[in-house]
Structure formats: structure tokens, C-alpha cells
Amino acid sequence: MTNTTTAAFAAHAGEYDALRRRLVPCFDALYGAAVAAAGPAPKRVLDLGAGTGLLSSMLLAAHPQVRLVLVDGAAPMLERAQAALGDAVEAARVQDLTGPLPAGPFCAVVSALAIHHLCDAAKAGLCARAFDVLAPGGAWVNAEQVAGDDAADDAALRARHERDSRALGATDAEWAAAQARMAHDRCAPVAPQLAWLRDAGYADVRCAFRAGRFAVLAGRRPA
């Protein structure tokens, strides 16, 4: 994630949660699938690109025993996450996703709508580095914005995204601002992202959820 991308998201920290529900039309289903893919009782979870803690808060609601380690490049986002999550936060680190990961082992490494800001080589490298900090049997869960399989498919998915977001009340100004932020995106199709997981050694690699431009990509470190 570049400094420009980080600044763009830090500037919207205060309104980010409400915006995300309008700009991610399948919000509840996407995040629900990510929580389910993290496993039945995760005790220690690393949240990459944690933002304001939306995914971590849902994990905490489902698993009150979980301890959370948060990583994000935008300090204002992490401040909101820590305030919301309280004592469940074991540690929070301001850094981009290309840096060294916090020490494991983790029951799950999760992310929501963050990794698509990296180039493809960095995405694949992050999958591999996350594998190394997972406990045996631990889950990789990436709730992600993905690209279409080709240019025509991608254009159709983008048109669906705008239509569905506007149906949920996204205004012209909100959609224009979203487009400006999405200019930093480097989305990849589902198939190569699943291949990167297999190459890194993950088992049970799958697309656990898909709705238009949004998907949950998952795998596990073999037990």
C-alpha cells in the first residue's frame, strides 16, 4: 500500500464504517463468510489492514475469547479500532502490508478489503509470509475486492457494483470519492489468488464466498 493510498483512507476514518456499508453491497454476507472461514474458535488472530476494526469486531462478537493483533498503515484508523475493540487488542502496529509481520503463531490471519492495494507480487509474498506465522491448522481469510477474468467481465462487475451501491443510497459525491480511492486499487481475479495460496503451501484452498466484485479467499496451513 502506497503512502498516497494510506493518506486517502486516513482522511475518511471518521465516516469509513457508514460508507463501507453503502459501497460494499454484500457487506453482511461478505464479512459473515470471512468470520465463518476463520474457524470455530480462534484464540489469536492477526488482522491485516484492520482499518477501523470492522472485521475484528465481528470476530470478537462471534468469539469473545479472541485476542487481536492489528496492522494498518493509517494511524487514525487503528486508533478507532483500538477504541472499539478495547482489551481484546493484544497489539496494534502502524505499518504497510509489505513489512515484517508480527510474530505468530496465530489461529487465523484475516484481512478485509486491503490486500488489493498491493501489486500481484506483493500479494503473493504476503500470502507466503502469513503462512509462516500461522499455527498448524490455522486459517488464511481474505475478504477481498477482485477483478473480472477479462476486460469485459471486469467492466460488467464494475457496472454492477455502481448500480448496487447507488441502490443502497450512495450519493454522487460518495461514489466519486470511492472512484478516486479505487484508482489506487490493483485488484486481481480469483483464480490466480487461489493459485498463490496453493503455491505457498496452503491446503483446503477455496473461494468461500463470491458476489460480483467481492469474494472471500481462504486456505489453511496443514495441521
Question: pLDDT digits over 160-219, tens only?
Answer: 999 999 999 999 999 998 888 888 899 999 999 999 999 999 999 999 999 999 999 999
The model carries a pTM of 0.90
Which residue do the cell numbers 477479462 mark? Answer: 150
Burial classification of residue 128, based on how many CB atoms lie within 10 Å of its CB (0-12 exposed, 13-18 middle, 19 or more buried):
middle
Query: How far is residue 58's CA from residue 41's CA, in Å, rounded to a whole number?
Result: 13
Domain boundaries, the chain: 3-220
| H-only helix segments in the chain | 3-10, 16-23, 27-37, 54-62, 75-85, 120-133, 151-167, 172-182, 190-200
Cis peptide before 40 (omega within 30 of 0): no
Question: pLDDT digits over 58-96, tens only?
Answer: 999 999 999 999 999 999 999 999 999 999 999 999 999
Superfamily for the 3-220 domain:
Vaccinia Virus protein VP39 (3.40.50.150)
